[in-house]
């Protein structure tokens, strides 16, 4: 992928980095809430248990599997795809070191919902930079283009599938996990509409 540097590219890179940074905040809010983890994280955790590898390596393996699935969908990668994989975890670590630990259940649940909304907004922001989606988001967009379904339907299908597989492999599932699986697809659809995202590969 060619990336000529000009004012437009610089603006897109800023949008991408802000989106990833805010995404890290949303992820940290959900993790620190301690009421469950997102379906893809349940899947990675289950894989780490079954394969007896660290959670980090399991996450890398999941990303690799997802990128292989891009091939039949003819989904193109970009610098955003690479930066997504490299930076979101680091940004989440940064935010988690700053966030307090709540012990009140209602506050924990509220924090999780806030984090989920932040993740949705941040995803729409960095995808709209058009520098390449993250592995999982690219899978959803490519599938949407192929099937013609609404984005929230595609997202819910994938989230529900990896949630079930991850749970069967021993991944942690709590109420926050189910809330994320049900709601994130619709929130993402609203976010993409908010940032006026149009798939550049679509017709």
What's the DSSP call for residue 131?
S
- Domain assignment present for 168: no
- 108 vs 31, more confident: 108
What distance in Å separates the CA atoms of residue 3 and residue 79, rounded to the nearest whole number?
8
What is the Cα–Cα distance from 68 to 50, expressed in whole angstroms? 21
Is the entire prediction scored with pTM above 0.85? no
Q: For residue 186, what are its two tokens?
A: 């619709």
Find the mean pLDDT for residues 185-199: 80
Half-sphere exposure for 145 (CA within 13 Å, toward CB): 18
Confidence of residue 202 (pLDDT cuts 50, 70, 90): very low
pLDDT, residue 5, reads 61
Question: Structure tokens of 180?
Answer: 């994320």
Ranges 1-10, 122-131, 159-168, 187-196: which has the least confidence: 1-10
| Domain assignment of residue 54, yes or no | no
With respect to residue 67, please indicate whether it lies within any of the assigned structural domains: no
In a domain, 66, yes or no: no
Are 99 and 33 contacting, i.e. CB atoms less than 8 angstroms apart?
Answer: no
Tens digits of residue pLDDT in 78-135:
888 878 877 787 788 788 889 998 899 999 999 999 999 999 999 889 888 888 778 8
Q: List all residues 6 or more positions away from 47 whose beta carbon is below 8 Å from its beta carbon.
A: 53, 58, 61, 62, 166, 169
Q: How confident is the model at residue 56 (pLDDT cuts 50, 70, 90)?
A: low
Contacts of 199 (CB under 8 A, 6+ apart): 141, 144, 145
- What is the Cα 33 distance to its own chain's centre? 17
The count of structural domains within the chain is 1
Q: Is the pLDDT reported for residue 13 higher than 80?
A: yes
pLDDT at 194: 87
Structure tokens at 106: 């209602």
Domain that holds residue 136: 12-38+79-160+174-194
How confident is the model over 126-161, as pLDDT tens digits? 888 888 778 887 898 889 888 888 888 888 899 889
Q: Establish if 129 belongs to a structural domain.
A: yes
Measure the CA–CA gap between 109 and 162, rounded to whole angstroms. Answer: 22
3-state helix, strand, coil in the chain (%, to 5): 75, 0, 25
In a domain, 83, yes or no: yes
- Structural element, H or E, at residue 169: none
- Among 9-23, 46-60, 110-124, 178-192, name the one with the lowest average pLDDT: 46-60
Contacts of 139 (CB under 8 A, 6+ apart): 66, 69, 70, 73, 75, 158
Say yes or no to pLDDT of 4 above 60.
no
């Amino acid at each position: 992928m060619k990336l000529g540097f000009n004012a437009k590219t610089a603006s897109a890179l800023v949008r991408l980095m802000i989106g990833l940074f805010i995404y890290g905040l949303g992820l940290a809010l959900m993790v620190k809430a301690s009421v469950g983890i997102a379906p893809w994280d349940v899947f990675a955790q289950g894989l780490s248990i079954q394969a007896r590898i660290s959670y980090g390596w399991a996450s890398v393996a999941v990303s690799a599997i997802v990128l292989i699935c891009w091939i039949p969908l003819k989904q193109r990668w970009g610098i955003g795809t690479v930066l997504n994989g490299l930076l979101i975890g680091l940004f989440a670590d940064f935010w988690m070191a700053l966030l307090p630990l709540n012990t009140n259940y209602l506050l924990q649940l509220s924090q999780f919902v806030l984090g989920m909304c932040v993740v949705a907004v941040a995803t729409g922001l960095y995808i709209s930079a058009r520098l390449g989606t993250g592995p999982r988001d690219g899978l959803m967009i490519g599938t949407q283009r192929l099937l013609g379904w609404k984005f929230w339907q595609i997202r819910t299908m994938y989230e529900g599938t990896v949630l079930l597989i991850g749970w069967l492999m021993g991944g942690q599932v709590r109420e926050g996990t189910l809330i994320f699986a049900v709601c994130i697809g619709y929130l993402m659809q609203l976010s993409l509409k908010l940032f006026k995202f149009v798939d550049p590969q679509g017709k």
